[in-house]
């Protein structure tokens, strides 16, 4: 038997939570694109999650993670990401709100230019986080760099604990069962908003990186017994084991809620779109560059080159090729990240257009 939105909310209410964002985030129709593609296209605005202009999808996860951190009397919070990590920046924001001290380990996928610090790394600095940059050594891959950062953090955390300071560790992307609860809640929130206008989603499109968001949405969908397909668009190379991991994470999130009678099967309960991440993580693609420009020209809304632009490119492709039938109700989940438009040129991509000089 599926659960009702109220029943899921009651289960979520038993978990420790620290209020960080402004919810519900808006859900609104994209009129021009809906007309063009003969569908009802809505956008779920988690870019407006708060606490400032630079929100995003990590805020939902952090409400549950910080709930636990505060409950455990932590003084320091550790987390990880790439140099321009949205997750790390939002974690720093959350720490400042909760009065905890943020320590972040950032793998320098794109090298830091000390003379021209930008975007999220600039915001991390403004908020006074303790920032460790893990520069890749010759022959080291990004994964090696991440692993080295985590080992260094473990040593630093041990040292602090020995001095009597309690530390709380948040994994990269906030991608664990507790964090995913934020997107179980997000799924319920969206369902309530659509129900209020007499609709249910046929498709949801969103960008996926660490699978935390995907797991939460998939778990929420399964709990409510919705017939929706949640299309998770990869932003980095992933094989089919990604769906297995996402389903396992979703099931762990259900365990957190004490739900035992609903289980996800990766074959039938997860969907993965792998064809839009190239040329790689934090590297703009011609399709995402076009999608960013198209959405901004059609609707005045910005998506970003690393995540939401690639997911939006996937959605446009599905719409243009008729993979989404006319008359469908479609939700694009805007996960935030537009600060990347103010990052290094190699992240932003090429939006050059000839300026008209009036000398």
Ligand X SMILES: *Cc1c(COP(=O)(O)O)cnc(C)c1O
CA count, 13 A, side-chain hemisphere, 299: 19
How far, in whole angstroms, is CA 348 from its chain's centroid?
A: 18
Whether 72 contacts 178, CB under 8 Å:
no
The residue at minimum Cβ distance from ligand X is: 337
Which residue, 67 or 173, is less far from ligand X as judged by CB? Answer: 173
Find the shortest distance in angstroms from Cβ 326 to ligand X. Answer: 28
What b-and-e string marks burial along 32-43, b requiring 16 or more CB atoms within 10 Å of the CB?
Answer: ebeeebebbbbb
Whether 334 contacts 308, CB under 8 Å:
yes
**What is the DSSP code (8-state) at residue 115?**
T
Given CA atoms 341, 19, 79, 8 in this order, what sign does their dihedral have?
Answer: negative
Structure tokens, 302: 């910005």
Find the shortest distance in angstroms from Cβ 358 to ligand X. Answer: 37
Which residue, 210 or 288, is less far from ligand X as judged by CB? Answer: 210
Which residue, 76 or 242, is less far from ligand X as judged by CB? Answer: 242
Find the shortest distance in angstroms from Cβ 186 to ligand X. Answer: 11
Q: Where are the alpha helices (DSSP H) in the chain?
A: 5-12, 31-37, 58-71, 86-98, 119-126, 142-162, 177-196, 212-224, 241-256, 266-269, 286-299, 308-320, 345-348
Find the shortest distance in angstroms from Cβ 352 to ligand X. Answer: 24
Which residue, 40 or 306, is less far from ligand X as judged by CB? Answer: 306
Which residue, 86 or 270, is less far from ligand X as judged by CB? Answer: 86
Find the shortest distance in angstroms from Cβ 181 to ligand X. Answer: 12
Which residue, 56 or 67, is less far from ligand X as judged by CB? Answer: 56
Rounded Cα–Cα distance for residues 204 and 183 (Å): 13
**Binding region for ligand X (CB under 6 A):** 56-57, 86-87, 173, 175, 207-214, 304, 307-308, 335-337
How far, in whole angstroms, is CA 48 from its chain's centroid?
A: 13
Find the shortest distance in angstroms from Cβ 337 to ligand X. Answer: 3
Which residue, 50 or 173, is less far from ligand X as judged by CB? Answer: 173
Find the shortest distance in angstroms from Cβ 227 to ligand X. Answer: 23
**Which residue, chain included where needed, has tokens 């090429």?**
350
């Amino acid at each position: 038997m599926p659960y009702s939105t109220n029943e899921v909310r009651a289960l979520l209410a038993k978990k420790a939570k620290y209020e960080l964002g402004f919810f519900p985030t808006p859900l609104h129709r994209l009129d021009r694109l809906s007309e063009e593609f003969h569908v009802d296209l809505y956008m779920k605005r988690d870019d407006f999650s708060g606490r400032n202009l630079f929100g995003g999808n990590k805020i939902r996860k952090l409400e549950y993670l910080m709930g636990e951190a505060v409950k455990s009397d932590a003084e320091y919070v550790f987390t990880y990401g790439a140099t321009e990590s949205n997750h790390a920046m939002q974690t720093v924001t959350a720490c400042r709100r909760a009065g905890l001290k943020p320590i972040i380990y950032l793998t320098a996928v794109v090298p830091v230019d000390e003379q021209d610090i930008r975007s999220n790394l600039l915001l991390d600095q403004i908020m006074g986080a303790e920032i460790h940059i893990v520069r890749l050594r010759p022959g080291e891959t990004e994964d090696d760099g991440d692993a080295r950062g985590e080992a260094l953090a473990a040593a630093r955390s041990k040292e602090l604990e020995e001095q009597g300071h309690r530390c709380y560790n948040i994994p990269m992307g906030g991608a664990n069962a507790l964090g995913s609860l934020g997107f179980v809640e997000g799924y319920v929130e969206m369902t309530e908003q659509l129900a209020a206008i007499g609709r249910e989603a046929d498709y949801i499109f969103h960008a996926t990186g660490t699978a935390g968001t995907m797991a939460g949405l998939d778990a929420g969908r399964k709990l409510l017994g919705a017939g929706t397909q949640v299309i998770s668009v990869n932003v980095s190379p992933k094989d089919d084991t990604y769906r297995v991991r996402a389903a396992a994470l979703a099931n762990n999130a259900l365990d957190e809620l004490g739900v035992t009678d609903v289980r996800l099967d990766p074959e039938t309960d997860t969907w993965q779109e792998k064809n839009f991440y190239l040329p790689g993580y934090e590297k703009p693609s011609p399709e995402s560059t076009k999608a960013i420009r198209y959405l901004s020209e059609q609707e005045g809304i910005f998506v970003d080159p690393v995540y939401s632009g690639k997911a939006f490119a996937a959605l446009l492709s599905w719409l243009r090729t008729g993979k989404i039938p006319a008359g469908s109700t479609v939700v694009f989940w805007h996960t935030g990240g537009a600060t990347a438009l103010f990052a290094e040129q190699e992240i932003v991509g090429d939006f050059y257009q000839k300026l008209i000089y009036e000398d």
